[in-house]
Amino acid sequence: MPRDRFGREIDYLRISLIDHCNLRCVYCMPLTGATFLPSADLLAANEIEIVARAAVAVGFRRIRLTGGEPTLRADLIEIVERIARIPALADLALTTNGILLPRLAPALVAAGLRRVNVHCDTLDPERLARVMRLGSFAEIWAGILAAEEAGLTPIKLNAVVVRGYNDADVVALAALTRARDWHVRFIELMPLGVGEPAEVSRQKYVPSAETRAHIETALGPLAALPIVDAADEARNYRLADGRGTIGFISPVSEPYCGTCNRMRLTADGRFHLCLLNDDELDVRAALRRGGEAAVAEVLLAAVLAKPVGHRLSAGHTIEHREMFQLGG
Ligand code: SAM
Ligand code: SF4
């Protein structure tokens, strides 16, 4: 398994397939005026497979497909098929807003996908329309149920907590774990880029401690679960009568850079070394020049160049990428 300069084992690759999205979450994408990569700049399905194979060859074991909205890639099923058949890959998952899952879930399972994380910020249709914009709660909920029915389990729900938008709704989301064995995870806002979403992320930030206190006041104490995977970015809990779990992802209030195991690939073929820094290495040129072996070389260089962590508390800003270009 590749190790970086700080002794961290890096074995998890998050691949952004596309920067387009069918939603416009207030903290991720501006309602109008976002510019997108021309399709000619996106890595093709066979190129994504080559990067995935190179990653597994150097010791990566987990891959997650993300976006933008990965289900907007017309060749998503082919991409999943190509990656799922790589021997020695231990985990292949997808992060999505769920809207297209009723149509895609069975084919994704047949192609070899194991799990999905579905992004749903609130169970309240009006507030969901205000925070996630363009989509509806009914569509996302149908997507979650379709994923569960197709066997893309355990279901993980991701909710970003945004003051004045959905901070009152964390209780109803957490209460889902009483009857269902779902993992509901609350994510702190991170400011990426220089536009309106970054401003929202700064202004409407809610620390996880506050979200947790809110849930405990309404639903009773949360019991901390043992840490099974040191690289899991969530701190996980359970309600006394809970079947599922409740997690808090707190990159701002409790940075977990010390156990980071991730590398990111952008849709236009750059290794992005740390979500909250701008450093990148171009892999597309190497891929087109030298195939899998050249990609492996760039990937190992990328691992060695990974920054020690983010510097948000020192006021550092991420200038060259927005969240929808990196995929969380
Ligand atoms: N469209 C898919 C989705 O929404 O799940 C995949 C891409 S999205 C960028 C991946 C994750 O990033 C989502 O779970 C979303 O909640 C999270 N996210 C987006 N903008 C964020 C921000 N400013 N701070 C924290 N999380 C954010
Ligand atoms: Fe789209 Fe996901 Fe960003 Fe929301 S968080 S705008 S669903 S990419």
Q: Which residue has the tokens 């070899």?
A: 112
Entry pTM: 0.95
Interatomic CA distance for residues 258 and 260, integer angstroms: 6
Q: Could you count the other beta carbons within 10 Å of the beta carbon of residue 97?
A: 26
Query: What was the pLDDT predicted at 234?
Result: 94
Question: Does the beta carbon of 99 sit less than 6 angstroms from any atom of ligand 1?
Answer: no
Query: What was the pLDDT predicted at 278?
Result: 81
**Could you tell me the CA-to-CA distances from 7 to 123, 125, 130, 258 in Å, in that order?**
41, 45, 43, 9
Question: Does the beta carbon of 71 sit less than 6 angstroms from any atom of ligand 1?
Answer: no
Give distance in angstroms: CA of 69 to centre of ligand 2: 6
Give distance in angstroms: CA of 68 to centre of ligand 1: 8
Map out the domains of the chain as residue ranges: 12-325
- Does the domain formed by 12-325 have CATH 3.20.20.70? yes
Q: Nearest ligand to the C-alpha of residue 187? A: 1
Report H helices in 151-270.
Answer: 170-179, 196-203, 208-219
Interatomic CA distance for residues 273 and 275, integer angstroms: 7
271: left (phi over 0), alpha (psi -120 to 50) or beta: beta
Q: Which of 203, 323, 324, 326 to mutate to test the pocket of ligand 1 (most atoms within 8 A of CB)?
A: 323
Q: For each of the chain's 328 residues, which pLDDT tens digit applies?
A: 899 999 999 999 999 999 999 999 999 999 998 889 999 999 999 999 999 999 999 999 999 999 999 999 999 999 999 999 999 999 999 999 999 999 999 999 999 999 999 999 999 999 999 999 999 999 999 999 999 999 999 999 999 999 999 999 999 999 999 999 999 999 999 998 888 999 999 999 999 999 999 999 999 999 999 998 888 899 999 999 999 999 999 999 988 888 899 999 999 999 998 888 888 899 999 999 999 999 999 999 999 989 888 877 767 677 788 888 888 8
pLDDT, tens only, 196-219: 999 999 999 999 999 999 999 999
Q: Among the atoms of ligand 1, which is closest to the Cα of residue 190?
A: 24
Q: Which of 24, 95, 272, 318 to mutate to test the pocket of ligand 1 (most atoms within 8 A of CB)?
A: 95
Q: Nearest ligand to the C-alpha of residue 200? A: 1
Q: What percentage of the chain reaches a pLDDT higher than 70? A: 99
The single-letter DSSP state of residue 242 is -
Q: Which of 23, 100, 119 to mutate to test the pocket of ligand 1 (most atoms within 8 A of CB)?
A: 119
Question: Taking CA 139 as the corner, what is the angle to CA 133 and CA 143, rounded to the nearest 5 degrees?
Answer: 120
Q: Whose CA is nearest to atom 8 of ligand 1?
A: 327
Question: Does the beta carbon of 97 sit less than 6 angstroms from any atom of ligand 1?
Answer: yes
Interatomic CA distance for residues 68 and 324, integer angstroms: 5
Q: Which residue has the tokens 């149509």?
A: 103
- Residue 157, beta-bridge partner list: 118, 184
Report H helices in the chain.
Answer: 45-57, 76-84, 101-111, 125-131, 137-150, 170-179, 196-203, 208-219, 284-304, 323-326
Give distance in angstroms: CA of 224 to centre of ligand 2: 29
Q: Whose CA is nearest to atom 25 of ligand 1?
A: 189
Interatomic CA distance for residues 9 and 262, integer angstroms: 9
Interaxial angle between packed helices 45-57 and 284-304, expressed in degrees from 0 to 180 and rounded to the nearest 10: 30
Q: Among the atoms of ligand 2, which is closest to the Cα of residue 29?
A: 6
Give distance in angstroms: CA of 47 to centre of ligand 2: 24
Interatomic CA distance for residues 84 and 90, integer angstroms: 9
Query: What was the pLDDT predicted at 258?
Result: 86
